[in-house]
Amino acid sequence: MSEKYKGIDPADTPCGQMPELNPEEKQVIREKGTEPPFSGKYCDHKAKGVYLCRNCGAPLYLSESKFDSGCGWPSFDDEIPGAVRRQPDADGRRTEIVCANCDGHLGHVFTGEKHTPKNTRHCVNSISIEFLPESKWPLQRAIFAAGCFWSVEDSFRHIRGVLTVRSGYTGGSVENPSYEQVCTGKTGHAEAVEILFDPSRVTYEQLADHFFKIHDPAQKNRQGPDIGTQYRSAIFYTNSEQKEAAKKIIRRLSEDGREVATELTPATTFWPAEPYHQRYLEKHGSAGCKVKD
């Protein structure tokens, strides 16, 4: 298994053991072939769920990153972190993409085409993937604010069971705010991260515990040099179970003599931040949050 892979073990996927490959699937997945354009069953597929590797069952793409590029093959502008590996294609011109878990051939990746704000197109053979409906693999959301969202996003991205993390704004009164508006401190929004996770791999309480370890919850309306209500420590719970899990940790910290200024409020609309804020530290190679014991 690739050192980079932070996803789910194939044996633990909801679909269990994947069936044996037929000759056509072997030709594409193991011999790096290509199915004819517009012939695959997932080319125009629009249902919500997760796309798995047909060879081993590892999760590769979420339906929210699928888009219609008109190329004749399923297109995705982002993968589940660590699930897909890029490598030079044998033709010396293109970049091949393979499952990071089993090396199964998926297709090729292209950049610079400007189909979506992420400017990336994973051109994937339908034969190489299998779809799992959202109803058969219920994922959960968590929303945390702990200062500048760049470091917070990067820290959560590497936790096993976390499928996606995106930076954004929540808790305020302005619809679809810009970064510049939030920075004024007048919108009421906090810089936050929205996490999509698999509760069978990581619990909400584990995520909340990590949240308290990567920042100073005693600081009110600031984190380090970043000052303002937009940098407040806050947990935006999506249900009563999340609320109780967060209260449990706060109670434990208080009993240990630690001051906690973290706000605990119901989740409202989460507005994704501008594209240049997403995976900021990954793009720029800066240091992120340090986990405290």
User: Cα Rg for the chain, rounded, in angstroms?
Assistant: 20
Cβ–Cβ under 8 Å, residues 236 and 192: yes
Q: Give domain limits for the chain.
A: 10-135, 139-284
Cα–Cα nearest to 122, from 81, 67, 46: 67
Cβ–Cβ under 8 Å, residues 205 and 245: yes
Report CA-CA distances (Å) from 264 to 70, 170, 246, 248, 253: 45, 13, 8, 12, 15
Q: What percent of the chain has pLDDT over 70?
A: 91
Cβ–Cβ under 8 Å, residues 249 and 209: yes
Backbone angles phi, psi at 80, to 5 degrees: -65, 130
- Tell me: pLDDT of 8 over 50: no
Determine the Cα–Cα distance for residues 79 and 59; give it in Å rounded to an integer. 9
Ranking 56-60, 191-195, 248-252 by mean pLDDT, the lowest is 56-60
237-264 average pLDDT score: 96
pTM: 0.69
**pLDDT attached to residue 3:** 30
Which residues are CB-neighbours of 177 under 8 A, at least 6 positions away?
169, 187, 189, 271
**pLDDT attached to residue 292:** 56
**pLDDT attached to residue 6:** 35
Q: Of these residues, 56, 99, 148, 289, which one is catalytic?
A: 148
**pLDDT attached to residue 253:** 96
Cβ–Cβ under 8 Å, residues 156 and 150: no
**pLDDT attached to residue 291:** 56
Q: Apex CA 154: angle with CA 147 and CA 9, to 5°?
A: 140
Determine the Cα–Cα distance for residues 127 and 39; give it in Å rounded to an integer. 10
Q: What is the mean pLDDT of the chain?
A: 89
Token representation of residue 64: 């929210």
The fold for domain 10-135 equals 2.170.150
- Positive or negative, the Cα torsion across 145, 148, 153, 159? negative
Q: How confident is the model at residue 286 (pLDDT cuts 50, 70, 90)?
A: low
Determine the Cα–Cα distance for residues 185 and 231; give it in Å rounded to an integer. 9
Cα–Cα nearest to 127, from 145, 107, 146: 107
Q: How confident is the model at residue 9 (pLDDT cuts 50, 70, 90)?
A: very low
51-71 average pLDDT score: 92
Known catalytic residue at 183: no
> Counting every residue, how long is the chain?
293
74-81 average pLDDT score: 91
Torsion of CA 231, 237, 238, 242, to 10 degrees: 150
Q: 3-class DSSP state for residue 176?
A: coil
Q: Pick 139-284's CATH classification: 3.90.1150.10, 3.30.1060.10, 2.10.109.10, 4.10.1240.10.
A: 3.30.1060.10
DSSP alpha helices (H): ranges in 16-64?
23-29
Question: 245: burial class by Cβ within 10 Å (0-12, 13-18, 19+)?
Answer: buried
Report CA-CA distances (Å) from 64 to 158, 176, 244, 281: 20, 19, 29, 23
Known catalytic residue at 15: no
Position with higher pLDDT, 61 vs 58: 61
Determine the Cα–Cα distance for residues 43 and 39; give it in Å rounded to an integer. 8
Interval 193-229: pLDDT, tens: 999 898 988 999 999 999 999 999 999 999 989 999 9
Determine the Cα–Cα distance for residues 102 and 21; give it in Å rounded to an integer. 14
110-119 average pLDDT score: 94
**pLDDT attached to residue 110:** 98
**pLDDT attached to residue 4:** 28
Report CA-CA distances (Å) from 59 to 40, 62, 200: 19, 8, 14
Q: How confident is the model at residue 13 (pLDDT cuts 50, 70, 90)?
A: very low
Q: Of these residues, 43, 53, 99, 123, which one is catalytic?
A: 123
